[in-house]
Amino acid sequence: MTAFVTSLRLTAATLLVCVGGYTTLILVLAQLVTPHTANGSLVTRADGTVIGSERIAQAFSEPRWFWPRPSAVGYNGAGAGGSNKSPTSADLTERGRQVVAAHGATAARPLPADLAAASGSGLDPHITEAAALYQIARVAAARGVPPDRLERLVRERAFAPGGFLTHERIVSVLELNLALER
């Protein structure tokens, strides 16, 4: 019986230190070092209303907005994941056809891959600069804005995530759409 009580105490102490203590330490450290990130990288309006996160894609489907990558999880941050469908899946093929048709892609003007395929998490908030530039004609027509102005907007917000180590620039769809709203 003494061994059983001792093992229960040891288990309780381990849980207290490893679960409670470690979690609290990491939370406090994160709040001190990077509070914005620790609190979800939330994007707010001037009045304080939360409108999204820098880290999670949102569904934009109206022609006047730049569209993100397709999402296998409906842009639900609680359920990140891919579709796990085979490349030969009829459902995946149909979704691909719908995406290509929605973007008006043709053989002469092929759709950038990141606009056709979901990311592994289904929540990637970024698209390539090429994918954003591809959408300019639709957004410009819907908003009555000159395409060159939108191109400038895209290029100003595009960045290389790995600095000089990456050749392809990306842009945050939410940030781009917020700039359009302004």
Burial class (CB in 10 A: 0-12, 13-18, 19+), 115: buried
pLDDT under 50: residue ranges of the chain: none
Token digits of residue 15: 């849980």
pLDDT at res. 56:
83
Can you give the pLDDT at residue 145? Answer: 92
* Full DSSP string of 78-114: GG-------TT-HHHHHHHHHHHHHHT--SSSPPPHH
User: For position 144, what pLDDT does the model report?
Assistant: 92
Residue boundaries of the structural domains of the chain: 2-37, 41-181
- pLDDT on residue 149: 94
Look at residue 142 in the predicted model and tell me its pLDDT: 93
What is the model's pLDDT at position 42? 84
The pTM score is 0.76
- Residue 152: predicted pLDDT: 95
